[in-house]
Amino acid sequence: MYDIIIVRNGEISLKKKNKAEFENALVKNIKYRLYKNKEVKIQKENGRVEISLGNADAFEIIKKIDDIFGVVSMSPAMVSDSGYDNLFKLIKRLVDFEIDKDKKTSFKLSIRRIDKSFDMQSNQMNIDMGEKVLREYPNLYVDVKNPEFEIHCEFRKDVNIVYSKKILGEGGMPRGINGRACTLISGGIDSPVATYLMARRGLFIEAVHFHSYPFTNERSKQKVIDLVSHLTAYCGKIRLHLVNLLDIQKEINEKCPEEYMTILSRRFMMRIAQDIANEYECTALITGESLGQVASQTSLGLLATDNVVNTMPVFRPLIAMEKDNIIEIAKKIGTYDISIIKEEDCCTVFLPKKPATKPKMGKVISSEEKLDIDKLVKSAIEKREILELKIK
């Protein structure tokens, strides 16, 4: 039975000035995930996080935290009192627990002598302790280049720690360390992936979804709720704002050129998202646009939509990605199967036969002069539905 889990961080260690803040955020996120596991204790130790297990199962705990952003790898480990003789006893305990002693198995011993007051060098310790292991276990043999079983040992002043497994985590940066951003999320493949990628860079997530009910049905809204609920496993709690765009689309359809419907609708979406983002102290917008993927996602189209955002940057993590790569990530994070469910969305309402791919800003602005922009934006925001979605 294991005593602790060693949780390693990657980028956190590189940012020395912010190291304490980063580590505190990671500890907080792990504690949030494990709040039901009252027996475990979580603390910062030697530039990493250590989880004392009590009677908890190490691998059940690892399953609960392996998708937390900032966790690079984890090792279930055993701990003993300090001392050279105790180290050998601890190695024996690990071998007895993890290895079939009746089977021929190659091994390697890697000892880190963290207690520099001990008079034996690490290399000498490896040789001496390795010989003890060989005498104790006749079916083990040394292979330093490609061992089946590598025993990692930390020889410290206060304790000894041994482990053999290194289980990869999600990586990235701890959630919330870089503030909060508002994502424009649809029911498609791209925007959930974009949200995941930016959350992985340390952002809390606020989400806005635009629908055209009753021209679109309730199932299309539920699909997005399911997508965002799934993303909470990575992003933590997400507030989802459901905004009905139909009145705005009707106004555009009635008063503006047909080919500009998509661009003008997108500009309204960005205005509304920016206002909601400011309301909740977000510092950026996130979209799932990829250059050239659809008619509106040209350089000029993106310029036209960005033109209305004046208080924050727009992050587009997918901008240069191939669709196959986006799909691969969607499958990895589990959003793909939800995204491909066929449902209506607001972009198909009043869809122009030939959308403008090279919109002229003069025509965009003259079209919008026919609309009461402030009134339409305010009304849409006031009528929105807000859901608080949490990790299940």
Domain boundaries, the chain: 4-168, 180-389
Cβ(154)–Cβ(112) under 8 Å?
yes
Pairing state between β 4-8 and 140-142: unpaired
pLDDT band for 261, please (50, 70, 90 cuts). Answer: confident
266 in a known ligand binding site = yes
CA distance 345 to 360: 26
Give the pLDDT confidence score for residue 156 in this predicted structure: 93
pLDDT band for 295, please (50, 70, 90 cuts). Answer: low
pLDDT in tens, 188-232: 999 999 999 999 999 999 999 999 888 888 898 999 999 999 999
140 in a known ligand binding site = no
Residue 64 has pLDDT above 80, yes or no: yes
Half-sphere exposure of 187 (CA within 13 A, CB side): 24
This prediction has a pTM of 0.88
Question: Beta-carbon neighbour count of residue 354 at 10 Å?
Answer: 8
Please give the helix or strand (H or E) that residue 21 lies within, else none: helix 19-33
Fold of the 180-389 domain:
Rossmann fold (3.40.50)
Residue 15 has pLDDT above 70, yes or no: no
124 in a known ligand binding site = no
pLDDT band for 280, please (50, 70, 90 cuts). Answer: very high
Give the pLDDT confidence score for residue 229 in this predicted structure: 97
pLDDT band for 348, please (50, 70, 90 cuts). Answer: low
171 in a known ligand binding site = no
Instruction: Give the mean model confidence (pLDDT) for residues 321-336.
Output: 96
CATH architecture of 4-168: 2-Layer Sandwich (3.30)
Residue 143 has pLDDT above 80, yes or no: yes
**Over the chain, what is the mean pLDDT?**
92
Question: Strand, coil or helix: what is 227?
Answer: helix
Give the pLDDT confidence score for residue 356 in this predicted structure: 77
210 in a known ligand binding site = yes
Instruction: Give the mean model confidence (pLDDT) for residues 34-59.
Output: 92
- Between 42 and 260, the more confident residue is 42
Residue 354 has pLDDT above 80, yes or no: no
Give the pLDDT confidence score for residue 360 in this predicted structure: 87
Question: Strand, coil or helix: what is 212?
Answer: coil
Residue 11 has pLDDT above 80, yes or no: no
